[in-house]
């Protein structure tokens, strides 16, 4: 609840600051909801702290067309009203950008080399004391190996433990025989190696560029999810309100730690921004739509506009009640079930949080074994490409072990 409260507060802060910038009378800026605990009044604005630590609101005077106020919201120029309405969305995006940028600058970004080079060797695995870090696997049982996808494909089809490897070490080629270990839980043989993982460091400038790309990718995914929701391709159980989000946040914090929690907070912030920008009644996007119509000299009866927003508000309140009931009904359900298509995902999720981008890849590759999901599709386009994974990914060796 605290995370949602912070994000809503940031959103309302955008409206408040821009309203003050254009000298609109702001009657109240509240932190939290419910009964007022205490507050102070400065320059005709009440700053209140309320009992429920969830969100907040800004009361800008003059938004009611039937009660005009000097310098009120509706007396201002269209571009000023547009900026005030858009400021909440902007602040949520800016907040997400700062969070992601901070993570990149402070922790860097782990990238995986999907070439045929051995990155690490698991303890007590078949490869221990046989292979070395940096070895290039050229062939497995006389089958050519060019990348990690090839390694997975060949080993996943193994029916016997005895395996012949052709490797290159220190510019010299050699053949090595190895006895693979059978993993009962996955019903397959494992060699026990992982790809090379490197941490890319960013400064504030390169990190800003990378954070912008990340926000773009998350935004695209959110719009794809909205499309699925509109087309009825999303299960009712997968739609969450505040209670559902609270449970996911708890799972994320437990699974991935503070870094994953901060990243997930950025994702929620972008979700909040996009939702508010939708051109629907009562939302910022709906009010912005009417301001744009006014800019285009398209006249809309003000009373009609207000009625539309009131109906929209009632609709969203009813929708919130149904979504909350849905959250309560599904409380015992794992909030990440919608992306757990295989047993391997469940195991990995005990160690780390799947990011929005990874979820999209996995949902598009439901029939591909998890170890191969992130590289199968993309290696067809560009071999040896590197992909981002979150920090604290303790399950990385388990997921990519061969």
> Of 89-103, 174-188, 278-292, which range is least confident?
174-188
Whether 302 and 374 map to the same domain: the answer is yes
Enclosing domain of residue 221: 77-109+203-402
> Are residue 163 and residue 262 in the same domain, yes or no?
no
Structure confidence at residue 237 (pLDDT): 63
Percent helix, strand and coil across the chain, each rounded to 5?
Answer: 50, 20, 30
pLDDT for res 269: 95
Lowest-confidence range among 18-27, 29-38, 358-367?
358-367
What's the pLDDT score for residue 355?
A: 34
Percent of the chain with pLDDT over 70: 77
Asked if 233 and 362 sit in the same domain, the reply is yes
**Does residue 399 fall inside a structural domain?**
yes
pLDDT at 56: 81
Residue ending a domain, choose from 137, 164, 194: 194
C-alpha distances out from residue 16 to 84, 134, 318, Å = 8, 56, 27
Note if 305 is an active site residue: no
On whether both 293 and 356 belong to a single domain, the answer is yes
Domain co-membership, 332 together with 189: no
Q: For the chain, give the percent of residues with pLDDT over 90.
A: 42
Residue 114: inside a domain: no
Residue 346 lies in a domain: yes
Domain co-membership, 105 together with 130: no
Residue 203: how many other CB atoms lie within 10 Å:
9
pLDDT of the residue at 218: 93
Report whether pLDDT(259) > 90: no
On whether residue 336 sits in a domain, the answer given is yes
For the chain, what is the domain count? 3
Share the mean pLDDT of the chain. 79
Give me the catalytic one of 12, 122, 344, 371. 12
Is pLDDT of 381 > 60? Answer: no
Q: Tell me, what's the pLDDT at 244? A: 66
Answer whether residue 150 is part of any domain: yes
Q: What CATH number has the domain bearing residue 149?
A: 2.30.42.10
Domain assignment present for residue 115? The answer is no
Look at residue 228 in the predicted model and tell me its pLDDT. 84
| 309 and 180 housed in the same domain | no
Q: What pLDDT, on a 0 to 100 scale, did the predictor assign at position 398?
A: 32
Taking 80 as the threshold, does the pLDDT of residue 388 lie above it?
no
Q: Is 387 domain-assigned?
A: yes
Most confidently modeled of 86-100, 102-116, 381-395?
86-100
Shared domain for 104 and 230, answered yes or no, is yes
Q: Looking at the structure, tell me whether residues 188 and 249 fall in a common domain.
A: no
Give pLDDT, residue 288: 96
Nearest alpha-carbon partner for 344 in 235, 190, 169, 114: 190
Per-residue pLDDT tens digits for 212-250: 999 999 999 989 888 887 887 776 666 666 666 667 777
- Residues 43-52, mean pLDDT to the nearest whole number: 88
Which candidate, 399, 267, 248, 219, places its Cα nearest to that of 337?
248
Among 255-259, 272-276, 352-356, the range with the most confident prediction by mean pLDDT is 272-276
84 with 180, same domain: the answer is: no
160 and 180 inside one domain: yes
pLDDT confidence of residue 240: 65
User: What's the gap between Cα 105 and its chain centre?
Assistant: 18
Q: What is the pLDDT of residues 152-198, one digit of tens each?
A: 889 988 888 999 999 999 999 999 999 999 888 778 888 999 998 88
Residue 374, pLDDT score = 39
- With contact defined as beta carbons under 8 Å apart, do 278 and 285 qualify? yes
Does residue 67 sit in the same domain as residue 209? no
């Amino acid at each position: 609840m605290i995370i949602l409260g912070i994000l809503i507060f940031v959103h309302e802060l955008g409206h408040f600051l821009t309203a003050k910038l254009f000298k609109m009378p702001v009657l109240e800026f509240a932190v939290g909801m419910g009964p007022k605990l205490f507050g102070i009044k400065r320059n005709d604005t009440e700053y209140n702290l309320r009992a429920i630590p969830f969100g907040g609101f800004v009361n800008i005077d003059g938004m009611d067309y039937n009660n005009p106020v000097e310098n009120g919201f509706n007396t201002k120029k269209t571009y000023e009203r547009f900026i005030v309405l858009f400021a909440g969305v902007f602040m949520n995006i800016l907040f997400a950008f700062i969070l992601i940028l901070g993570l990149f600058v402070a922790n860097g970004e782990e990238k995986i080399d999907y070439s045929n080079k051995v990155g690490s060797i698991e303890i007590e695995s078949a490869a221990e004391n046989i292979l070395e870090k940096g070895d290039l696997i050229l062939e497995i049982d006389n089958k050519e190996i060019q990348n990690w996808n090839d390694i997975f494909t060949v080993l996943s089809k193994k029916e016997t433990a005895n395996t012949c490897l052709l490797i290159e070490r220190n510019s010299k080629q050699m053949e090595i025989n190895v006895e693979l270990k059978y993993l009962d839980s996955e019903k397959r043989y494992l060699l026990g190696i992982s790809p090379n993982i490197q941490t890319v460091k960013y400064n504030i400038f390169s990190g800003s560029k990378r954070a912008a790309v990340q926000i773009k990718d998350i935004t695209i995914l959110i719009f794809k999810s909205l499309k699925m929701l509109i087309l009825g391709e999303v299960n009712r159980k997968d739609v969450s309100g505040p209670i559902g989000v609270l449970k996911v946040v708890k799972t994320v914090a437990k699974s991935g730690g503070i870094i994953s929690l901060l990243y997930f907070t950025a994702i929620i912030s972008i979700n909040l921004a996009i939702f508010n920008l939708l051109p629907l009644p009562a939302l910022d996007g709906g009010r912005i739509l009417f301001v744009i119509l006014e800019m285009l000299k398209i006249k809309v009866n003000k009373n009609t506009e207000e009625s539309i927003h009131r109906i929209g508000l009632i609709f969203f309140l009813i929708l919130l009640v149904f979504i909350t009931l849905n959250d309560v009904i599904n409380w015992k359900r794992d909030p990440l079930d919608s992306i757990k298509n295989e047993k391997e995902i469940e195991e990995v999720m005990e160690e780390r949080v799947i990011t929005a981008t990874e979820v999209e890849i996995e949902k598009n590759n439901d029939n591909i074994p998890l170890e191969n999901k992130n590289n199968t599709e993309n290696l067809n386009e560009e071999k040896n490409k590197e992909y981002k994974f979150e920090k604290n990914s303790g399950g990385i060796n388990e997921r990519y072990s061969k």
